A and B are shown apart, each in its own frame.
Chain A
Amino acid sequence: MGYLNNSVVTVDAILTTKGRQLLAQADGTFRITQFALADDEIDYTLYNPNQPSGSAYYGEAIQNMPLLEAFPNETQVMKYKLVTLPRGTAKLPILDLGFSSITIKQGASLAVNPQTLNYTGGNQVEPSGYTFTISDVRLMSTFTGAGVNTPQAQALNQTNTIGANVSKTVVGTTLNLKATTVNTLFGLENALYATLTVEGRDSGARITIPVTVTKVS
Protein backbone atom coordinates (compact mmCIF):
# COMPACT_ATOMS: atom_id res chain seq x y z
CA MET A 1 0.00 0.00 0.00
CA GLY A 2 1.38 3.36 -0.97
CA TYR A 3 0.42 6.90 -0.11
CA LEU A 4 -2.18 8.56 -2.29
CA ASN A 5 -1.06 11.78 -3.87
CA ASN A 6 -3.65 14.21 -2.56
CA SER A 7 -1.56 17.35 -2.87
CA VAL A 8 -3.11 20.54 -4.14
CA VAL A 9 -1.10 22.27 -6.80
CA THR A 10 -0.52 25.86 -5.64
CA VAL A 11 0.55 28.53 -8.05
CA ASP A 12 1.04 32.28 -7.74
CA ALA A 13 -0.85 34.43 -10.22
CA ILE A 14 0.24 37.77 -11.60
CA LEU A 15 -1.98 40.53 -12.90
CA THR A 16 -1.87 41.08 -16.62
CA THR A 17 -1.46 44.53 -18.12
CA LYS A 18 -5.17 44.51 -18.85
CA GLY A 19 -5.88 43.40 -15.27
CA ARG A 20 -3.86 46.30 -13.87
CA GLN A 21 -5.64 48.69 -16.22
CA LEU A 22 -9.08 47.50 -15.13
CA LEU A 23 -8.03 47.51 -11.48
CA ALA A 24 -6.96 51.14 -11.88
CA GLN A 25 -10.28 52.02 -13.52
CA ALA A 26 -12.04 50.90 -10.32
CA ASP A 27 -15.34 50.63 -12.17
CA GLY A 28 -16.13 47.05 -11.22
CA THR A 29 -14.72 45.48 -14.37
CA PHE A 30 -11.90 43.86 -12.38
CA ARG A 31 -13.98 40.98 -11.17
CA ILE A 32 -12.77 37.44 -11.66
CA THR A 33 -15.74 35.28 -12.55
CA GLN A 34 -14.41 32.49 -14.73
CA PHE A 35 -11.28 30.58 -15.60
CA ALA A 36 -9.73 28.85 -18.55
CA LEU A 37 -6.82 26.45 -18.89
CA ALA A 38 -4.13 26.47 -21.53
CA ASP A 39 -1.23 24.33 -22.65
CA ASP A 40 1.07 27.05 -23.95
CA GLU A 41 4.63 25.77 -24.53
CA ILE A 42 3.53 22.15 -25.08
CA ASP A 43 4.59 20.52 -28.32
CA TYR A 44 2.41 17.44 -28.73
CA THR A 45 4.67 16.02 -31.40
CA LEU A 46 6.93 15.14 -28.44
CA TYR A 47 4.21 12.78 -27.24
CA ASN A 48 5.32 9.36 -28.43
CA PRO A 49 2.64 6.64 -28.66
CA ASN A 50 5.31 4.28 -30.00
CA GLN A 51 7.44 4.47 -26.86
CA PRO A 52 8.82 0.94 -26.32
CA SER A 53 8.69 1.31 -22.53
CA GLY A 54 4.91 1.47 -22.55
CA SER A 55 2.07 3.93 -22.27
CA ALA A 56 3.27 5.32 -18.96
CA TYR A 57 6.21 6.81 -20.84
CA TYR A 58 4.41 8.21 -23.88
CA GLY A 59 4.46 11.70 -22.42
CA GLU A 60 7.83 11.58 -20.67
CA ALA A 61 9.32 14.23 -22.96
CA ILE A 62 6.55 16.62 -21.97
CA GLN A 63 5.61 16.09 -18.38
CA ASN A 64 8.97 16.92 -16.81
CA MET A 65 9.74 19.92 -18.97
CA PRO A 66 10.49 23.19 -17.16
CA LEU A 67 8.01 25.97 -17.85
CA LEU A 68 8.62 29.68 -18.26
CA GLU A 69 7.18 32.22 -15.88
CA ALA A 70 3.93 33.92 -16.85
CA PHE A 71 4.08 36.93 -19.15
CA PRO A 72 2.06 39.97 -18.02
CA ASN A 73 1.13 40.80 -21.62
CA GLU A 74 -2.35 39.28 -21.95
CA THR A 75 -1.87 38.74 -25.67
CA GLN A 76 1.15 36.51 -25.08
CA VAL A 77 -0.38 34.04 -22.64
CA MET A 78 -3.36 31.69 -22.73
CA LYS A 79 -2.74 31.27 -26.43
CA TYR A 80 -3.86 27.68 -26.72
CA LYS A 81 -6.80 26.90 -24.52
CA LEU A 82 -7.96 23.51 -23.42
CA VAL A 83 -11.53 22.94 -24.50
CA THR A 84 -14.37 20.76 -23.36
CA LEU A 85 -15.64 18.61 -26.18
CA PRO A 86 -17.54 15.30 -26.30
CA ARG A 87 -15.41 12.19 -26.03
CA GLY A 88 -14.70 10.81 -29.47
CA THR A 89 -14.11 14.16 -31.11
CA ALA A 90 -11.90 13.53 -34.13
CA LYS A 91 -11.71 17.05 -35.51
CA LEU A 92 -11.20 20.13 -33.44
CA PRO A 93 -12.89 23.45 -34.18
CA ILE A 94 -10.69 25.84 -36.15
CA LEU A 95 -11.37 29.42 -37.19
CA ASP A 96 -11.53 30.77 -40.69
CA LEU A 97 -11.32 34.56 -41.00
CA GLY A 98 -10.95 34.73 -44.72
CA PHE A 99 -7.58 36.43 -44.13
CA SER A 100 -4.18 35.10 -43.19
CA SER A 101 -3.05 38.66 -42.49
CA ILE A 102 -4.52 42.16 -42.64
CA THR A 103 -2.81 45.07 -44.36
CA ILE A 104 -4.87 48.21 -44.29
CA LYS A 105 -4.21 51.80 -45.27
CA GLN A 106 -4.40 54.65 -42.80
CA GLY A 107 -8.05 55.66 -42.38
CA ALA A 108 -9.43 52.65 -44.28
CA SER A 109 -12.18 50.40 -42.90
CA LEU A 110 -12.60 46.64 -42.89
CA ALA A 111 -15.15 44.11 -41.65
CA VAL A 112 -14.03 40.70 -40.40
CA ASN A 113 -16.59 37.85 -40.38
CA PRO A 114 -15.16 34.68 -38.85
CA GLN A 115 -16.69 31.25 -39.00
CA THR A 116 -15.80 28.09 -37.13
CA LEU A 117 -15.04 24.89 -38.98
CA ASN A 118 -15.74 21.46 -37.46
CA TYR A 119 -18.03 22.99 -34.90
CA THR A 120 -21.03 20.91 -33.81
CA GLY A 121 -20.81 18.86 -36.94
CA GLY A 122 -20.29 21.58 -39.51
CA ASN A 123 -19.04 25.03 -40.35
CA GLN A 124 -20.94 27.85 -38.72
CA VAL A 125 -20.87 31.17 -36.88
CA GLU A 126 -20.77 30.51 -33.16
CA PRO A 127 -23.95 31.57 -31.32
CA SER A 128 -22.05 33.42 -28.58
CA GLY A 129 -19.86 35.11 -31.13
CA TYR A 130 -16.16 35.76 -31.05
CA THR A 131 -13.75 37.86 -29.01
CA PHE A 132 -11.52 40.09 -31.09
CA THR A 133 -8.35 41.40 -29.43
CA ILE A 134 -6.05 43.96 -31.04
CA SER A 135 -2.66 44.00 -29.36
CA ASP A 136 -2.22 47.79 -29.65
CA VAL A 137 -5.48 49.72 -29.63
CA ARG A 138 -3.77 52.93 -30.81
CA LEU A 139 -3.64 51.56 -34.34
CA MET A 140 -7.41 51.64 -34.70
CA SER A 141 -9.73 54.62 -34.57
CA THR A 142 -12.68 52.21 -34.72
CA PHE A 143 -12.57 48.72 -33.23
CA THR A 144 -16.06 47.45 -32.47
CA GLY A 145 -17.87 44.19 -32.44
CA ALA A 146 -21.39 43.73 -33.82
CA GLY A 147 -23.96 40.97 -33.78
CA VAL A 148 -23.91 40.00 -30.10
CA ASN A 149 -26.29 42.04 -27.99
CA THR A 150 -25.72 40.75 -24.47
CA PRO A 151 -25.17 43.49 -21.83
CA GLN A 152 -21.61 42.28 -21.23
CA ALA A 153 -20.75 42.41 -24.92
CA GLN A 154 -22.29 45.84 -25.33
CA ALA A 155 -20.44 47.18 -22.27
CA LEU A 156 -17.17 45.86 -23.61
CA ASN A 157 -17.78 47.29 -27.07
CA GLN A 158 -18.48 50.73 -25.61
CA THR A 159 -15.30 50.88 -23.52
CA ASN A 160 -12.90 53.63 -24.51
CA THR A 161 -9.18 53.05 -24.17
CA ILE A 162 -7.31 56.26 -24.80
CA GLY A 163 -3.70 56.91 -25.61
CA ALA A 164 -2.13 53.76 -24.25
CA ASN A 165 -0.26 50.90 -25.82
CA VAL A 166 -2.58 48.24 -24.45
CA SER A 167 -4.83 45.69 -26.02
CA LYS A 168 -8.54 46.05 -26.54
CA THR A 169 -11.04 43.25 -26.68
CA VAL A 170 -14.51 43.40 -28.20
CA VAL A 171 -17.20 40.80 -28.77
CA GLY A 172 -19.37 40.13 -31.79
CA THR A 173 -19.98 37.96 -34.79
CA THR A 174 -18.49 40.71 -36.96
CA LEU A 175 -15.54 42.98 -36.27
CA ASN A 176 -15.63 46.48 -37.73
CA LEU A 177 -12.32 48.23 -37.71
CA LYS A 178 -10.91 51.44 -39.09
CA ALA A 179 -7.22 52.22 -39.12
CA THR A 180 -6.00 55.29 -37.29
CA THR A 181 -5.65 58.61 -39.05
CA VAL A 182 -3.12 59.93 -36.50
CA ASN A 183 0.18 60.63 -38.27
CA THR A 184 2.26 61.18 -35.16
CA LEU A 185 1.96 57.52 -34.19
CA PHE A 186 4.05 56.58 -37.20
CA GLY A 187 7.06 58.72 -36.33
CA LEU A 188 9.58 58.05 -39.05
CA GLU A 189 8.05 54.69 -39.96
CA ASN A 190 5.80 53.97 -42.91
CA ALA A 191 3.85 51.22 -41.22
CA LEU A 192 2.60 50.21 -37.79
CA TYR A 193 2.26 46.61 -36.69
CA ALA A 194 0.01 44.74 -34.29
CA THR A 195 -1.73 41.39 -34.02
CA LEU A 196 -5.39 40.51 -34.13
CA THR A 197 -6.46 37.52 -32.07
CA VAL A 198 -9.87 36.01 -32.68
CA GLU A 199 -11.32 33.42 -30.37
CA GLY A 200 -14.56 31.48 -30.58
CA ARG A 201 -16.53 32.09 -27.39
CA ASP A 202 -18.20 28.70 -27.61
CA SER A 203 -15.54 26.54 -29.18
CA GLY A 204 -12.38 28.09 -27.73
CA ALA A 205 -10.78 27.94 -31.19
CA ARG A 206 -8.25 30.69 -31.66
CA ILE A 207 -6.31 32.30 -34.43
CA THR A 208 -3.84 35.17 -34.45
CA ILE A 209 -2.96 37.09 -37.58
CA PRO A 210 -0.62 40.04 -38.16
CA VAL A 211 -2.09 43.49 -38.78
CA THR A 212 -0.23 46.19 -40.70
CA VAL A 213 -1.40 49.78 -41.01
CA THR A 214 0.39 51.64 -43.78
CA LYS A 215 0.92 55.37 -43.79
CA VAL A 216 -0.87 57.29 -46.52
CA SER A 217 0.91 60.62 -46.49
Chain B
Amino acid sequence: MSFKRLEADDFVISSDSITAAMWVGNVPTLTYFFTSSVQAAGQSGNYYLNVYSSSAAQDIQFAIAYGNANGSGSTLYNDAVTGSSYTTTIYGQYQNLVLGDENAAFIFGNVTSSDFWAISIERNRYKEAIFPGSLFLELSGSLGVINLTDDSNYVTTTTFTEAGRVYNLISASAAGTIATGAGSSNTGITADGWSADLGSYGWLLPDIGTILLNPTALTGSLAAGGIGLNVSRSLDAPGNNNARLFLAISGSTASTFTLNSQETVTSDFIFIRPRSSEFNYSENPSFISGSTGEVLYSSFVDNPQVYITTVGLYNDTNELLAVAKLSRPLLKDFTKEALIRVKLDF
Protein backbone atom coordinates (compact mmCIF):
# COMPACT_ATOMS: atom_id res chain seq x y z
CA MET B 1 0.00 0.00 0.00
CA SER B 2 2.83 2.41 0.72
CA PHE B 3 5.67 0.51 -0.98
CA LYS B 4 6.02 -0.31 -4.64
CA ARG B 5 8.51 -2.80 -5.98
CA LEU B 6 11.01 -1.63 -8.55
CA GLU B 7 11.33 -3.50 -11.83
CA ALA B 8 14.60 -4.46 -13.51
CA ASP B 9 14.23 -1.72 -16.12
CA ASP B 10 13.87 0.91 -13.39
CA PHE B 11 17.63 0.67 -12.76
CA VAL B 12 20.33 2.15 -14.98
CA ILE B 13 24.00 2.16 -13.99
CA SER B 14 26.21 4.80 -15.55
CA SER B 15 29.94 5.46 -15.14
CA ASP B 16 31.16 8.93 -16.03
CA SER B 17 34.64 10.40 -16.06
CA ILE B 18 34.73 13.59 -14.03
CA THR B 19 37.59 16.07 -14.27
CA ALA B 20 38.18 18.84 -11.77
CA ALA B 21 40.73 21.41 -10.72
CA MET B 22 43.57 19.78 -8.83
CA TRP B 23 44.45 22.06 -5.97
CA VAL B 24 42.75 22.93 -2.72
CA GLY B 25 39.94 25.45 -3.12
CA ASN B 26 39.14 23.89 -6.49
CA VAL B 27 41.73 25.98 -8.34
CA PRO B 28 43.57 24.48 -11.32
CA THR B 29 46.72 26.59 -10.97
CA LEU B 30 48.97 26.83 -7.97
CA THR B 31 51.02 30.01 -7.88
CA TYR B 32 52.15 30.20 -4.26
CA PHE B 33 54.22 27.46 -2.71
CA PHE B 34 55.21 26.93 0.91
CA THR B 35 57.16 24.33 2.85
CA SER B 36 57.25 23.47 6.52
CA SER B 37 60.57 23.90 8.28
CA VAL B 38 59.40 21.38 10.87
CA GLN B 39 58.73 18.73 8.24
CA ALA B 40 61.93 19.51 6.36
CA ALA B 41 64.03 19.21 9.51
CA GLY B 42 62.35 16.00 10.62
CA GLN B 43 63.14 12.41 9.69
CA SER B 44 60.78 12.53 6.70
CA GLY B 45 62.67 15.57 5.40
CA ASN B 46 65.55 13.29 4.50
CA TYR B 47 63.28 11.61 1.97
CA TYR B 48 60.79 14.17 0.76
CA LEU B 49 59.66 17.75 1.09
CA ASN B 50 55.97 18.51 1.46
CA VAL B 51 54.67 21.54 -0.44
CA TYR B 52 51.66 23.49 0.80
CA SER B 53 49.41 26.10 -0.75
CA SER B 54 49.47 28.45 2.23
CA SER B 55 51.89 29.57 4.89
CA ALA B 56 49.71 27.84 7.48
CA ALA B 57 51.09 24.54 6.12
CA GLN B 58 47.72 22.83 6.48
CA ASP B 59 46.89 21.37 3.10
CA ILE B 60 49.65 19.33 1.49
CA GLN B 61 49.45 19.70 -2.29
CA PHE B 62 52.36 17.56 -3.35
CA ALA B 63 55.70 16.21 -2.19
CA ILE B 64 59.11 16.42 -3.82
CA ALA B 65 61.64 13.59 -3.55
CA TYR B 66 64.97 12.94 -5.23
CA GLY B 67 66.08 9.45 -6.17
CA ASN B 68 69.55 8.36 -7.24
CA ALA B 69 70.59 4.85 -8.18
CA ASN B 70 74.08 5.33 -6.72
CA GLY B 71 72.99 6.98 -3.49
CA SER B 72 74.40 10.34 -4.49
CA GLY B 73 72.83 13.54 -3.27
CA SER B 74 72.45 12.60 0.37
CA THR B 75 74.36 11.32 3.36
CA LEU B 76 74.79 7.58 3.71
CA TYR B 77 72.75 5.66 6.23
CA ASN B 78 75.98 4.14 7.48
CA ASP B 79 79.45 5.23 6.49
CA ALA B 80 80.50 1.60 6.40
CA VAL B 81 77.94 0.78 3.72
CA THR B 82 78.75 2.54 0.47
CA GLY B 83 75.93 3.53 -1.83
CA SER B 84 73.06 3.08 0.61
CA SER B 85 71.37 6.39 1.31
CA TYR B 86 68.02 8.14 1.37
CA THR B 87 68.20 8.73 -2.35
CA THR B 88 68.78 5.05 -3.14
CA THR B 89 65.71 4.23 -1.09
CA ILE B 90 63.65 6.69 -3.11
CA TYR B 91 65.13 5.39 -6.36
CA GLY B 92 64.38 1.78 -5.45
CA GLN B 93 60.89 2.68 -4.30
CA TYR B 94 59.93 4.20 -7.66
CA GLN B 95 61.89 1.56 -9.56
CA ASN B 96 59.72 -1.07 -7.94
CA LEU B 97 56.54 0.93 -8.39
CA VAL B 98 57.02 2.13 -11.95
CA LEU B 99 59.35 -0.36 -13.61
CA GLY B 100 58.66 -3.46 -11.55
CA ASP B 101 62.22 -4.65 -12.12
CA GLU B 102 65.12 -3.89 -9.81
CA ASN B 103 67.53 -4.12 -12.73
CA ALA B 104 65.61 -1.83 -15.08
CA ALA B 105 66.52 1.82 -15.55
CA PHE B 106 64.46 4.93 -16.15
CA ILE B 107 64.68 5.93 -19.79
CA PHE B 108 63.38 9.46 -20.37
CA GLY B 109 62.75 9.66 -24.07
CA ASN B 110 65.85 7.92 -25.36
CA VAL B 111 68.27 8.68 -22.54
CA THR B 112 68.87 6.40 -19.58
CA SER B 113 68.97 8.26 -16.30
CA SER B 114 70.36 7.20 -12.96
CA ASP B 115 68.40 9.80 -11.04
CA PHE B 116 65.11 11.72 -11.03
CA TRP B 117 63.00 14.13 -9.11
CA ALA B 118 59.59 12.78 -8.17
CA ILE B 119 56.63 15.09 -7.66
CA SER B 120 54.04 13.02 -5.89
CA ILE B 121 50.60 14.66 -5.80
CA GLU B 122 48.59 14.28 -2.59
CA ARG B 123 46.02 11.50 -3.10
CA ASN B 124 42.95 13.50 -2.13
CA ARG B 125 43.98 16.15 -4.66
CA TYR B 126 44.27 13.90 -7.72
CA LYS B 127 41.38 11.65 -6.61
CA GLU B 128 41.80 8.76 -9.05
CA ALA B 129 44.30 10.00 -11.64
CA ILE B 130 45.92 13.07 -13.10
CA PHE B 131 44.03 14.21 -16.19
CA PRO B 132 46.55 13.83 -19.05
CA GLY B 133 47.09 16.98 -21.08
CA SER B 134 46.29 19.30 -18.21
CA LEU B 135 49.86 19.69 -16.92
CA PHE B 136 51.59 23.04 -17.16
CA LEU B 137 54.64 23.36 -14.91
CA GLU B 138 56.99 26.28 -14.99
CA LEU B 139 60.55 25.73 -13.78
CA SER B 140 63.30 28.30 -13.44
CA GLY B 141 67.02 27.60 -13.50
CA SER B 142 70.12 29.69 -13.57
CA LEU B 143 69.95 29.94 -17.38
CA GLY B 144 66.26 30.61 -17.82
CA VAL B 145 62.75 29.27 -17.58
CA ILE B 146 61.09 26.28 -19.17
CA ASN B 147 57.42 25.33 -19.26
CA LEU B 148 56.58 21.65 -19.27
CA THR B 149 53.52 19.71 -20.30
CA ASP B 150 52.93 16.07 -21.20
CA ASP B 151 52.76 14.73 -24.73
CA SER B 152 49.41 12.96 -24.38
CA ASN B 153 47.90 15.27 -27.01
CA TYR B 154 50.66 14.49 -29.49
CA VAL B 155 51.15 10.72 -29.31
CA THR B 156 48.90 8.24 -31.03
CA THR B 157 49.92 5.25 -28.94
CA THR B 158 49.89 5.27 -25.17
CA THR B 159 52.79 3.54 -23.44
CA PHE B 160 52.26 1.60 -20.25
CA THR B 161 54.54 0.79 -17.33
CA GLU B 162 53.93 -1.20 -14.16
CA ALA B 163 52.37 2.02 -12.87
CA GLY B 164 49.92 2.36 -15.75
CA ARG B 165 50.03 5.00 -18.46
CA VAL B 166 53.19 7.02 -19.02
CA TYR B 167 53.66 10.19 -21.07
CA ASN B 168 56.87 12.07 -21.75
CA LEU B 169 57.25 15.62 -20.52
CA ILE B 170 57.94 18.14 -23.26
CA SER B 171 58.63 21.84 -23.53
CA ALA B 172 55.41 23.83 -23.83
CA SER B 173 54.30 27.31 -24.75
CA ALA B 174 51.93 29.29 -22.56
CA ALA B 175 49.13 28.13 -24.84
CA GLY B 176 50.02 24.52 -24.12
CA THR B 177 51.45 23.75 -27.56
CA ILE B 178 54.94 22.37 -28.11
CA ALA B 179 57.59 25.08 -27.68
CA THR B 180 60.67 24.32 -29.76
CA GLY B 181 64.01 26.02 -29.49
CA ALA B 182 63.48 27.96 -32.70
CA GLY B 183 63.46 31.68 -32.03
CA SER B 184 64.17 31.30 -28.32
CA SER B 185 67.30 31.40 -26.25
CA ASN B 186 66.77 27.76 -25.40
CA THR B 187 68.05 26.57 -28.75
CA GLY B 188 68.49 22.96 -27.76
CA ILE B 189 64.83 21.99 -27.74
CA THR B 190 63.81 19.71 -30.61
CA ALA B 191 60.65 19.78 -32.68
CA ASP B 192 59.26 17.08 -30.37
CA GLY B 193 59.74 19.36 -27.39
CA TRP B 194 62.56 17.24 -25.98
CA SER B 195 66.05 18.36 -25.06
CA ALA B 196 68.39 17.90 -27.97
CA ASP B 197 70.64 15.17 -26.59
CA LEU B 198 69.39 14.52 -23.09
CA GLY B 199 65.99 12.97 -23.74
CA SER B 200 62.57 14.12 -22.61
CA TYR B 201 62.16 16.24 -19.52
CA GLY B 202 60.60 13.40 -17.59
CA TRP B 203 57.47 11.33 -17.27
CA LEU B 204 53.89 11.94 -16.30
CA LEU B 205 52.45 8.88 -14.56
CA PRO B 206 48.77 9.85 -14.30
CA ASP B 207 47.53 6.64 -12.70
CA ILE B 208 49.74 7.00 -9.64
CA GLY B 209 49.55 10.80 -9.46
CA THR B 210 53.27 11.23 -10.01
CA ILE B 211 55.55 13.33 -12.18
CA LEU B 212 59.17 12.27 -12.65
CA LEU B 213 61.59 14.95 -13.82
CA ASN B 214 64.78 14.16 -15.70
CA PRO B 215 67.60 16.09 -13.93
CA THR B 216 70.04 15.42 -16.76
CA ALA B 217 67.90 17.32 -19.25
CA LEU B 218 67.01 20.15 -16.90
CA THR B 219 70.56 20.76 -15.71
CA GLY B 220 71.91 21.04 -19.26
CA SER B 221 72.94 24.15 -21.10
CA LEU B 222 70.62 26.20 -23.27
CA ALA B 223 72.21 24.66 -26.31
CA ALA B 224 71.33 21.24 -24.95
CA GLY B 225 67.76 22.24 -24.12
CA GLY B 226 68.35 22.69 -20.38
CA ILE B 227 67.88 25.62 -18.04
CA GLY B 228 70.91 25.17 -15.81
CA LEU B 229 68.93 23.70 -12.95
CA ASN B 230 71.22 22.81 -10.10
CA VAL B 231 71.41 19.25 -8.79
CA SER B 232 73.92 17.86 -6.32
CA ARG B 233 75.29 14.40 -7.00
CA SER B 234 77.92 14.41 -4.27
CA LEU B 235 78.46 11.17 -2.40
CA ASP B 236 77.77 11.07 1.32
CA ALA B 237 76.87 14.75 1.52
CA PRO B 238 73.48 16.40 1.94
CA GLY B 239 72.51 17.46 -1.54
CA ASN B 240 69.32 19.37 -0.64
CA ASN B 241 67.96 18.37 -4.02
CA ASN B 242 64.37 18.44 -2.82
CA ALA B 243 64.81 22.07 -1.84
CA ARG B 244 66.55 22.80 -5.14
CA LEU B 245 63.55 21.64 -7.13
CA PHE B 246 61.23 23.51 -4.78
CA LEU B 247 63.12 26.71 -5.58
CA ALA B 248 62.89 25.95 -9.28
CA ILE B 249 59.11 25.61 -8.99
CA SER B 250 58.46 28.49 -6.62
CA GLY B 251 61.25 30.83 -7.64
CA SER B 252 60.14 31.49 -11.17
CA THR B 253 59.03 34.98 -12.09
CA ALA B 254 55.55 33.62 -12.70
CA SER B 255 55.60 30.32 -10.87
CA THR B 256 52.79 28.21 -12.22
CA PHE B 257 51.77 24.63 -11.64
CA THR B 258 48.53 23.67 -13.38
CA LEU B 259 46.88 20.26 -13.20
CA ASN B 260 43.45 18.68 -13.31
CA SER B 261 42.28 15.58 -11.53
CA GLN B 262 40.19 12.81 -13.01
CA GLU B 263 37.92 10.22 -11.46
CA THR B 264 35.26 7.80 -12.56
CA VAL B 265 31.98 8.26 -10.74
CA THR B 266 29.56 5.39 -10.95
CA SER B 267 25.97 6.47 -10.61
CA ASP B 268 22.92 4.38 -10.07
CA PHE B 269 19.88 5.90 -11.74
CA ILE B 270 16.57 4.66 -10.41
CA PHE B 271 13.35 5.56 -12.15
CA ILE B 272 10.43 6.06 -9.80
CA ARG B 273 7.08 5.69 -11.53
CA PRO B 274 3.99 6.29 -9.39
CA ARG B 275 0.95 5.47 -11.55
CA SER B 276 -2.22 7.52 -11.63
CA SER B 277 -4.05 5.24 -9.21
CA GLU B 278 -1.17 5.03 -6.73
CA PHE B 279 0.06 7.19 -3.85
CA ASN B 280 -2.94 9.54 -3.81
CA TYR B 281 -3.62 9.57 -0.07
CA SER B 282 -1.33 10.58 2.73
CA GLU B 283 -0.61 9.47 6.27
CA ASN B 284 0.46 13.04 7.03
CA PRO B 285 -1.27 14.10 10.27
CA SER B 286 -2.34 17.37 8.66
CA PHE B 287 -4.14 15.39 5.93
CA ILE B 288 -6.38 13.90 8.60
CA SER B 289 -9.01 15.68 10.60
CA GLY B 290 -9.23 14.76 14.25
CA SER B 291 -8.34 11.41 15.78
CA THR B 292 -10.68 9.21 13.76
CA GLY B 293 -8.73 9.30 10.51
CA GLU B 294 -11.20 11.34 8.43
CA VAL B 295 -9.61 13.27 5.57
CA LEU B 296 -9.17 16.99 6.11
CA TYR B 297 -11.47 18.26 3.37
CA SER B 298 -14.53 16.50 1.95
CA SER B 299 -13.19 17.14 -1.55
CA PHE B 300 -10.22 14.89 -0.69
CA VAL B 301 -12.52 11.85 -0.46
CA ASP B 302 -12.96 11.56 -4.23
CA ASN B 303 -10.27 13.93 -5.42
CA PRO B 304 -7.36 13.83 -2.99
CA GLN B 305 -4.49 16.20 -3.68
CA VAL B 306 -1.14 15.19 -2.20
CA TYR B 307 2.34 16.60 -2.68
CA ILE B 308 5.42 14.42 -3.12
CA THR B 309 8.46 15.86 -1.35
CA THR B 310 10.57 12.80 -0.58
CA VAL B 311 11.52 9.54 -2.29
CA GLY B 312 12.66 6.67 -0.10
CA LEU B 313 14.56 3.65 -1.43
CA TYR B 314 14.16 0.46 0.57
CA ASN B 315 15.38 -3.12 0.68
CA ASP B 316 13.18 -6.19 0.97
CA THR B 317 12.87 -5.79 4.71
CA ASN B 318 11.63 -2.19 4.44
CA GLU B 319 14.85 -0.68 5.73
CA LEU B 320 15.39 2.81 4.35
CA LEU B 321 18.72 2.70 2.48
CA ALA B 322 18.70 6.01 0.62
CA VAL B 323 16.54 9.07 0.47
CA ALA B 324 16.08 11.89 -2.02
CA LYS B 325 14.28 15.19 -1.66
CA LEU B 326 12.63 17.08 -4.48
CA SER B 327 13.44 20.77 -4.88
CA ARG B 328 9.76 21.61 -4.56
CA PRO B 329 6.57 19.69 -3.88
CA LEU B 330 5.16 17.72 -6.79
CA LEU B 331 1.37 17.54 -6.98
CA LYS B 332 -0.09 14.05 -7.30
CA ASP B 333 -3.71 13.04 -7.73
CA PHE B 334 -5.78 10.43 -9.59
CA THR B 335 -5.24 12.28 -12.89
CA LYS B 336 -1.46 12.48 -12.69
CA GLU B 337 1.47 10.16 -13.10
CA ALA B 338 5.03 11.11 -12.29
CA LEU B 339 8.47 10.04 -13.43
CA ILE B 340 11.24 10.85 -11.00
CA ARG B 341 14.84 9.95 -11.78
CA VAL B 342 16.85 9.41 -8.62
CA LYS B 343 20.65 9.53 -8.90
CA LEU B 344 22.70 7.66 -6.36
CA ASP B 345 26.47 8.15 -6.52
CA PHE B 346 29.03 5.64 -5.24
A interface vs B, CB < 8 Å? Answer: 8-16, 18-19, 22, 29-45, 47, 49, 58-59, 62-72, 74, 77-78, 80-85, 87-94, 117-118, 131, 152-153, 155-156, 169, 171, 199-206
Contacts and interface: CB of A to CB of B under 8 A. Distances in A.
A16 B315 CA distance: 12
Contacts of A72: 323
A64 B328 contact: yes
B107 to A, nearest CB: 43
B295 A37 contact: no
B6 A10 contact: no
Contact of B341 (A11, A14, A65, A90): A11
Given A22-B319, A43-B286, A38 B309 contact: yes
A31 B284 contact: no
B329 interface: yes
B308 interface: yes
A7 B329 CA distance: 15
A44 B282 contact: yes
Interface in B295-309: 295-297, 299, 301-302, 304-309
B134 to A, nearest CB: 27
Given A9-B330, A32-B314, A39-B329, A84 B279 contact: yes
Contacts of A199: 2, 318
A39 B1 contact: no
B27 interface: no
Contacts of A89: 281, 295, 301, 304
Contacts of B318: 34, 131, 169, 171, 199, 201
Contact of B315 (A29, A64, A171): A29
Contacts of A94: 288, 291-293
B322 A39 contact: no
A33 B308 CA distance: 20
Contact of B343 (A11, A49, A169, A171): A11
A170 to B, nearest CB: 9
A24 to B, nearest CB: 12
A37 B311 contact: yes
A44 B284 contact: yes
